[in-house]
Structure 1
Amino acid sequence: MQAAAGLFSGRSDVTDMQGRTAAQSRRTAWLIVFLLFLAQMLNYFDKTVVGVAATSIMAELDLTSERYGLVASAFFSLYAVTGVLVALFAAPRFKPRSIMAVLLVIWSLAQLPVLVSASFTTLIAGRVILGMGEGPGTPTSINACHEWFAPAERNMPTALSLFGSQVGSLLAAPILSYIIAGFGWRAAFLACSAAGFVILVLWLRFSADGPEAAHREVGPATGSSSPIRQRDLWADPSVIGNFVAGFAAYWVVGFTVAWLPLFVRNRLGLGLIESGWVLSAIYLVQALLLLLIAFGSQRMLRAGATSRAARGIVMASCLLISAAAFIGAAMATDAHLAVVLVTIGTALPLVIFTLGAAMLSEVSPTAHRNRLVTIIFSIVTLSAIPSPLVTGALVQGDLGWDRAFLVLAAVTLIGGIISWATLRPERSIRRLVALEG
């Protein structure tokens, strides 16, 4: 495999601009992937703690489903705003390593206010602050990862770093459920904060800038030497397709984080601990599907398949199959079958974040890459704001879960159709090369 250090040489005696040999760079590259894996795992713990503790929080604070939906949506209210601000002002000036350190501090501090005063208002405020910090988290992780790997080799490292979110989802439900059952729901928030500070220390001690950091300037003038303008990139069909696919995928993420734990408990009639283990099984399936599809896509690329086939068609197909699964869940009369179909429906859209990020890095000039990836994967999170609200309104009334699944199906179906038509990275590269003259 062409390793991270392969950006400049495959020989072990050749050094990069930091004096590392290729072998050392390979080891450092995979250490970075592991640290990003931990950060993404924490990211999911932070996001899902409210969902796992939902029953306890709603009972203690006397929240209706609609008010709980507001709490869940608050996390995403400024999620995209801070992501775009980081993309416009921080990504061109600071390296991903530094940005990631600041974000970890915010994640850890944002969990603490609810320990002082637990109320509907405090929950909203804490989730807004946490969302502000986590909004740029995933795109910053992607950028930090991509600095260490050549374009054709980014699928698996990206998938493995984002796999932390899936492992987080696998572990979060049982771990947080046990903490809540034994020590109360506030202890779960404290545990998330403590874990964040531990990962911050590890990141400051062991992280490093990748070889590709040397190929782009970091400063106010970044990107100014490129003849390609931002609007040239935003008008590109592959970029538009990635935006639409990401929007559809994050709508599903909003449902998964806020409502999947409650759906499992209500539909299967389980207690807190039992539902935690069922959720772990669901998240395990999601994680395995993500890795399997990312691995298959990279094998297709190595075998000579086009990026259109290995990434674009795969992304579109995942959204279309997800839509079919949600339709099936809405029609299912058996509770266990409905849970299986919802598992498939919520798992496949996660592929968008891995393959889509790799495609954006592939088509974007290096000077624009960090900004483009950060903006795209920040703005698409806006769909996670209405998603829990819409679900809450449907579940609150007589329409129930079935109508909520049909809405999810409609969103993923539209995303899949548009993705199929627009994701053509080879054509995008030719277009952008022509613009560069």
Structure 2
Amino acid sequence: MSAQETPNVAAKTTKTPKGAWTITFLLFLFMVVNFADKIVVGLAGVPIMTEMKLSAEQFGLLGSSFFFLFSISAIVVGFIVNKVPTRWVLLTLAVIWAVSQFPMVGTVSFTTLLICRIVLGAGEGPAFSVAAHAIYKWFPDEKRTLPTAILSQGSAFGVILAVPALNWIIVNHSWHYAFGALGVVGLIWVAAWLALGKEGPLEDTEVLAATEPKIPYVQLLTSRTFLGCVVATFGAYWALSLGLTWFTPFIVKGLGFSQRQAGFISILPWVFGATIVILTGWISQVMMARGYTTRVSRGVLGSVPLIVGGLILTAMAHVEGAGLQIALLVVGSGLCGAIYVVCPPMLGEFTPASQRGAVLAIYGALYTLSGIIAPSVMGTVIQRASSMLDGYLTGFTINAVVMIGSGVIGLLLLWPNTEKARLTRGAAAQGTALKGAVSPT
């Protein structure tokens, strides 16, 4: 490509193609379904434990089981979307989600429920990274933060919209039918995506794979910004996975609210989290437009709320009153949402587009490992505590420590604005060394 052609390419890629926001909205709905599927077990936790006579440890295992294949699936599919159009990958994932819900409609054993949650987790593991990769084919780098924020908000709206409806089904009919309703909704999304889903025009996967310079994966995955994103989001996801599994049981069994009341209270963290995520996406994009580096407008902006949120959670065990404890939990855990907005664009800054799907997927696979650990740790702590409320408060204190530590590490490591140049120089130096090693003497 000549020097004269380069500006034209840059000019083309800075314009958002027609249809980009339609795809963003469809993928937002994709994440709505994704998180509605996740929340249903936590929302129906008390009825499930009562009907199946489960202990706190068994229910913690059920919450963790969702993540058993989550990370493995994310990595495998991440490499697949480097070469396969995201349109078909997203369709396949959504079909798996829908089908895995229907066995719970009838009488179900604990083993069957466990297996279905493992299968669902395998289908949902790659969801966010594949959806982000798909959106980035529609938006240039400087315009990606807000679409990422909207995509992330599918999680909050999935809970906000689903919880009242699912809780109504649970209270007035049965928790079994709540799963069936989610299966039907999943199939509706599949039909909409078949009709309207398209591949983004800004990047051609096959062309990029053949022509774009590569950076060795070992350098990408050991870069400080990649490691910082993994650690920071690990702490945020610890809080999220507790919210998915244990928030409603905490409201009912720990604080004494009814299942009907808990249905409304359970949406509060997600409403607050949605506000944080949208604000973060907007503020980040404004800061970048005003000339701030992505170190500040993405790295610092995402890490500091984690630290502040963790500090707020530490106060839960030292205050009296259900209302105040809920407020601290809502605000403390809700602040975690900022990191989800900024990390995928940061990784996209320095990762070649033909390798981005795999890098985003590996990032997702690693940080979601906390989803295996956190629900099980909470269940064990509750089981062994002197009282149920003490167990919950101890579990949330552990969560606070994890958040503070991960936020501090993220603050130290997230430097995306200098990462690309450093990695490119490293790859070039390595290539030169290899050529020198094989050249004849």
- Regarding TM over 0.5, the answer is yes
For 2:150, give the aligned amino acid.
L
Aligned length: 416
The superposition leaves residues 288-345 of structure 1 with CA deviations (integer Å, 9 ceiling, x where unpaired) of 1111122111111111111000110111101101110110112222221111111122
The answer for the alignment partner of 2:50 in structure 1 is 59
Q: 1:8 to 1:224 in 2, by over 3 A?
A: closer
Does the 8 Å contact 2:212/2:352 carry over to 1?
A: no
Question: How far apart are the structure 1 equivalents of 2:11 and 2:180?
Answer: 41
Q: 1:236 aligns with which of 201, 220, 223?
A: 223
Q: 1:172 to 1:297 in 2, by over 3 A?
A: same
User: SS at the partner of 1:401?
Assistant: helix
Question: How far apart are the structure 2 equivalents of 1:49 and 1:405?
Answer: 21
Per the TM alignment, residue 272 of structure 1 is displaced from its structure 2 partner at its CA by 1.4
Provide the TM-score with structure 1 as the length reference: 0.91
Provide the TM-score with structure 2 as the length reference: 0.90
The answer for the alignment partner of 2:295 in structure 1 is 308
5+ residue gaps, structure 1: 12-21
For 1:33, give the aligned amino acid.
T
Deviates more, 1:114-123 or 1:103-112: 114-123
Question: How far apart are the structure 2 equivalents of 1:47 and 1:235?
Answer: 31
Question: How far apart are the structure 2 equivalents of 1:269 and 1:171?
Answer: 24
Q: 1:370 aligns with which of 347, 357, 362?
A: 357
Q: 1:9 to 1:133 in 2, by over 3 A?
A: closer
The answer for the alignment partner of 2:337 in structure 1 is 350
Per the TM alignment, residue 228 of structure 1 is displaced from its structure 2 partner at its CA by 1.5
Does the 8 Å contact 1:319/1:416 carry over to 2?
A: yes
For 2:109, give the aligned amino acid.
S
- Once superposed, which parts of structure 1, at least 4 consecutive aligned residues long, lie more than 6 Å away? none
The answer for the alignment partner of 1:194 in structure 2 is 184
Deviates more, 1:262-271 or 1:104-113: 262-271
The answer for the alignment partner of 2:278 in structure 1 is 291
Does the 8 Å contact 1:72/1:258 carry over to 2?
A: yes
The superposition leaves residues 117-144 of structure 1 with CA deviations (integer Å, 9 ceiling, x where unpaired) of 4111011001000000000011111111
Q: 1:229 to 1:223 in 2, by over 3 A?
A: farther
Per the TM alignment, residue 379 of structure 1 is displaced from its structure 2 partner at its CA by 2.2
Identity of aligned residues (%): 31
Per the TM alignment, residue 266 of structure 1 is displaced from its structure 2 partner at its CA by 3.3
Q: How does 1:408-419 map to 2 (within 5 A)?
A: 408-419=399-410
For 1:305, give the aligned amino acid.
Y
Question: How far apart are the structure 1 equivalents of 2:105 and 2:169?
Answer: 15
5+ residue gaps, structure 2: 1-8, 429-441
Q: 2:92 aligns with which of 86, 102, 119?
A: 102
Larger Rg: 2
Does the 8 Å contact 1:174/1:273 carry over to 2?
A: no
The superposition leaves residues 373-422 of structure 1 with CA deviations (integer Å, 9 ceiling, x where unpaired) of 11111221111011000001112222512211121011111101111111
Q: 1:358 to 1:227 in 2, by over 3 A?
A: closer
For 1:302, give the aligned amino acid.
A
For 1:404, give the aligned amino acid.
G
The superposition leaves residues 41-99 of structure 1 with CA deviations (integer Å, 9 ceiling, x where unpaired) of 001110011111111111111111111111111111110011111123x1222121111
Could you say what the CA RMSD is over the residues aligned between the two structures, in angstroms? 1.9
Q: How does 1:14-413 map to 2 (within 5 A)?
A: 25-26=17-18, 28-88=19-79, 90-214=80-204, 216-217=205-206, 222=209, 226-398=213-385, 399-413=390-404
Q: 1:223 to 1:417 in 2, by over 3 A?
A: farther
Does the 8 Å contact 2:149/2:280 carry over to 1?
A: no
